[in-house]
Amino acid sequence: MVPRTHVRQTVRDAARDLEGQIVAEALGEMLYRLAHYRLSRVTHVHI
């Protein structure tokens, strides 16, 4: 299990990385996908 603090930080980092790169309408979906991908790498789970 990934600590809640790590999940929060991963989502914040992903949001910061996407800021200004993605149109507003797609931001929610892209943020979910990027954070999910990064967390799956931490847990070694293939998506």
pLDDT tens per residue across span 12-32: 999 999 999 999 999 999 999
Place of tokens 């603090």: 5
Cβ neighbours of residue 36 under 8 Å, at least 6 residues apart? 47
pLDDT in the model for residue 37: 95
- pLDDT exceeds 90 at position 44: no
Residue 47 is given by DSSP the state -
Give this prediction's pTM.
0.82
Distances (CA, A) of 32 to 21, 40: 15, 12
Residue 16 host element (H or E): helix 4-18
